[in-house]
Amino acid sequence: MSERGPLQIATLCTGNAARSVMAGIMLAQLAEFEGISVNITTAGTHVVEGQPMGQRTKAALESVGELDTSTVGLHRSHQLSVQDCERADVIIAMEADHIRFIRRVHANSAQKTITLTRLVREISVEEAPFVDRLQALDLQNVSLEEEQDVVDPAGGEQPQYDACAQEIWELCQITTALLVTE
């Protein structure tokens, strides 16, 4: 999306086992469908590296009928790194605590970190580069609101995972539409 190549997106949750994985897969497929060039990294704030996706997450993704889930088994959990932060044009967090983590551990990336729900609610739809519209939000200084969280389904049953996937799917569709305006 920028002149240097595809828009670099990192999706962030706690364990990189459910929400960030769902968002990453969904955004990648929606962007491809719209012809938007993106590279997506999924990561977590507190991760056991290299773990496969759980069965509930996989089933939740499969419950979103429009998704191609043929490659979801390839996912392995990943701890957000300095390199991930440096490479990302935007870090899309699933909850306010993830932004607090960024502000504390990767402070230089706070200005490009936003919750998925805030992104959908606040980014402008004007015809300007996405990164410029993101920077205009002054994200390093915004107050954080827990009501913007995508609820973590961890520890829940399949209906909680399915509801989470549906919420993220709806938010990712809107997010992709915001990327198209470039």
Structure confidence by residue, pLDDT tens digits, 14-29: 999 999 999 999 999 9
2 within a domain of the structure (yes/no): no
Which domain covers residue 172, as residue numbers? Answer: 7-180
Under the banding of pLDDT at 50, 70 and 90, the label for residue 107 is: very high
DSSP assignment, residue 148? G
Q: What CATH code is carried by the domain that includes residue 150?
A: 3.40.50.2300
Low-confidence winner among 46-55, 93-102, 118-127, 169-178 (lowest mean pLDDT) = 118-127
Is the pLDDT at 86 greater than 90? The verdict is yes
For residue 115, give every residue at least 6 positions away whose Cβ sits within 8 Å of its Cβ, in sequence order, or none: 92, 93, 94, 95, 96, 98, 99, 148, 149, 150
1 within a domain of the structure (yes/no): no
Average pLDDT over the chain, rounded to whole? 94
Tally of structural domains, the chain: 1
Tell me the three state secondary structure of residue 76: strand
83 within a domain of the structure (yes/no): yes
